Amino acid sequence: MDAKKSVLILENRSLLTLSGVTGIRAFDDRTVMLYTVIGELSVMGKALILDQLSTSAGEIRVEGDIMALRYGDRDRTGADGMIGRLLR
């Protein structure tokens, strides 16, 4: 079994609790883009708030009107440097 683990709990489309977070790419009140141990994840909605963030534990909590969750590139688990972004 793979040691990488990410747990996602979505309650009533208004509270998302996520573990296995390795970094945050960007966020505003409509989109939270982050990296997890299993790849990129975008959370889309309205009035989104990063309610709780623990970088040491790799956990995050997002509150708001959550409309969509979209996983991206499975190999992107952390931020690239400047060269990595240019070569993509």
Supply the CATH number for residue 14's domain. Answer: 2.60.40.2000
Owning domain of residue 54: 8-78
Q: Quick check: 18 and 41 in contact, CB under 8 A?
A: yes
What are the two backbone dihedrals, phi and then psi, of residue 73, each rounded to the nearest 5 degrees?
-55, 120
In a domain, 65, yes or no: yes
Number of domains in the chain: 1
pLDDT, residue 2, reads: 53
In a domain, 28, yes or no: yes
In a domain, 87, yes or no: no
d(C-alpha 65, C-alpha 31), whole Å: 11
In a domain, 26, yes or no: yes
pLDDT, residue 74, reads: 78
Q: pLDDT tens track of the chain, all 88 residues?
A: 456 899 999 999 999 999 999 989 999 999 999 999 999 999 999 999 998 888 788 999 999 999 999 998 777 767 654 334 444 4
pTM of the model: 0.80
pLDDT, residue 83, reads: 37
In a domain, 20, yes or no: yes
